């Protein structure tokens, strides 16, 4: 009889693909879209790959899959170029370093661009303590402990 098929799997394939796409973007190679970001007259252009934008952003997916869309140049208004740059870095690498005071701004960009993964990590950075019962998030550990008591049925305020 015939031999059984064997599935060949690489644990690092996705990392290599992302790294290669990131290098191509940084070198300006094979990019097929320019995103012009305009914040109060301060305009900056970013080169990217449509497939990366569409795969990571509901906003870009909707625009790029629209039959009437201009796919070679897109414009974004009222977004800081630093926030869009952080979005792109995250899209191409799965990580981005952001100053703590800028996380809210990057989170707002992620929400506007409908990038769930970036939105999630921003939320975790802002409120790192999560309740394992209901996923409520807190900025301070003692507030999480206080909240957890609500799941036990114990009175929170004792007389």
Give dist(CA 90, CA 86) in Å, integer: 6
Chain center to CA of 7: 31
Spell out, as residue ranges, where the chain has pLDDT lower than 70.
1-2, 128, 139, 141, 144, 154-159
Residue 126 neighbours by CB under 8 Å, 6+ apart: 103, 104, 107, 139
135: which DSSP letter? -
Q: How much is the pLDDT for 154?
A: 67
Q: How much is the pLDDT for 159?
A: 47
Query: CA of 118: how far to CAs of 10, 71, 90, 113, in Å?
Result: 25, 24, 7, 10
157: left (phi over 0), alpha (psi -120 to 50) or beta: beta
Give the class (CATH, top level) of 15-126.
Answer: alpha beta
Q: How much is the pLDDT for 58?
A: 98
Chain center to CA of 104: 13
Give dist(CA 95, CA 98) in Å, integer: 10
Q: How much is the pLDDT for 136?
A: 75
């Amino acid at each position: 009889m015939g031999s059984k098929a064997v599935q060949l799997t690489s644990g690092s394939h996705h990392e290599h693909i992302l790294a290669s796409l990131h290098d191509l973007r940084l070198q300006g190679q094979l990019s097929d879209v320019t995103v012009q970001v305009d914040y109060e007259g301060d305009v900056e252009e970013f080169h990217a790959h449509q497939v990366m934008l569409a795969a990571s952003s509901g906003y870009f997916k909707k625009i790029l899959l629209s039959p009437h869309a201009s796919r070679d140049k897109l414009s974004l208004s009222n977004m800081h170029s630093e926030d869009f740059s952080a979005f792109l870095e995250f899209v191409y690498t799965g990580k981005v370093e952001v100053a703590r005071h800028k996380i809210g701004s990057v989170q707002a960009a992620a929400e506007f661009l409908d990038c769930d993964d970036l939105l999630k990590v921003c939320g975790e950075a802002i409120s790192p303590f999560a309740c394992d019962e209901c996923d409520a998030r807190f900025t301070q550990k003692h507030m999480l402990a206080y909240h957890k008591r609500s799941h036990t049925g114990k009175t929170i305020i004792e007389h």
